[in-house]
Amino acid sequence: MRLRNLKNKEEILENSNYLVKIPSDFKGKWNKYFNNDNPIYIEIGMGFGKFIVENALKNPDINYIGIEKLDNVLARCLPRIPEGIDNLAIVRLNALEIDEIFDKEIDRIFLNFSDPWPKKRHSMRRLTSVNFLEKYDKIFCKNKTIYMKTDNRDLFIFSLESFSSYGYVLSDISFDLHSDKEREIITTEYEDKFVKKGIPIYNVVATKLSK
Ligand code: SAH
């Protein structure tokens, strides 16, 4: 995502009630942050946050953590979030370090319109590469569930293969998620843009039950 540099971004980040300033403090005890034992769902690469905010408002008994690596994106997203959503936290982090802030406590990961990294030599940077699946193993509490949506066919096929060879079982596979008009879908900013242009959205749920 290319954005104009925001001059006051440090100040916006500093003043946000949602941004957790030292997320590693809560490693293994995010239930203490939320003050309850509800399930924790995270979105990696949350962008401007529409998806995670709408989910948090709709499901107050689930805790949501949005993860984003770019300050410029966070500085645009944070001021737009309505005050007082108790089941929402935002973390500034590169997902490469995800196992430094969580320990066996995540119930679900959402990957929405992740960067495709089309060059083969960059394939390990894809958030569905084995590189990341190994990290996710350390943060999931028991059963592992990854919900993925993308407009990028190559990333989708790569991810289906990567999930299955890592032992995930695939379900809810769609090559055109929005063709089902009955389905209630919480969309992301990117998704809205693509759907408006008539671009199909790919969807998959990958699950690995613990023995
Ligand atoms: N999910 C949003 C944004 C998609 S764009 C939507 O669907 O609208 C992908 C986002 O992921 C960008 O904001 C990018 O900065 C972020 N991102 C990419 N790689 C990341 C990583 N390794 N760790 C954290 N965020 C990442």
Please state the atom number of ligand 1 nearest to the C-alpha of residue 45.
11
Cβ of 1 less than 6 Å from ligand 1: yes
Of 115, 154, 172, 176, the catalytic one is: 115
Cβ of 70 less than 6 Å from ligand 1: yes
Average pLDDT of the chain, as a whole number: 96
Cβ of 189 less than 6 Å from ligand 1: yes
Cβ of 73 less than 6 Å from ligand 1: yes
Residue 88 CA to ligand 1 center (angstroms) comes to 18
Q: 36 Cβ partners below 8 Å, 6+ apart?
A: 63
Cβ of 170 less than 6 Å from ligand 1: no
Q: pLDDT band at residue 210, thresholds of 50, 70 and 90? A: confident
Classify residue 186 as exposed, middle or buried by CB count within 10 Å of its CB (0-12, 13-18, 19+): middle
Q: pLDDT band at residue 1, thresholds of 50, 70 and 90? A: low
Three-class SS of residue 120? helix
pLDDT for res 6: 73
pLDDT for res 17: 95
CA-nearest of 67, 107, 71 to 88 is: 67
- What mean pLDDT is predicted for residues 77-82? 96
Order of strands, sheet of 88-92, starting from the edge strand that comes earlier in the sequence: 88-92, 63-68, 40-44, 108-112, 144-150, 202-208, 169-174
Q: Extract the tokens encoding 195.
A: 């759907």
Q: Do 167 and 211 meet the contact criterion of CB atoms below 8 Å apart?
A: no
Residue 142 CA to ligand 1 center (angstroms) comes to 25
Residue 180 annotated among the catalytic residues of the structure:
no
pLDDT for res 7: 77
Predicted TM-score of the model (pTM): 0.96
Checking if the pLDDT of 164 tops 80, the result is yes
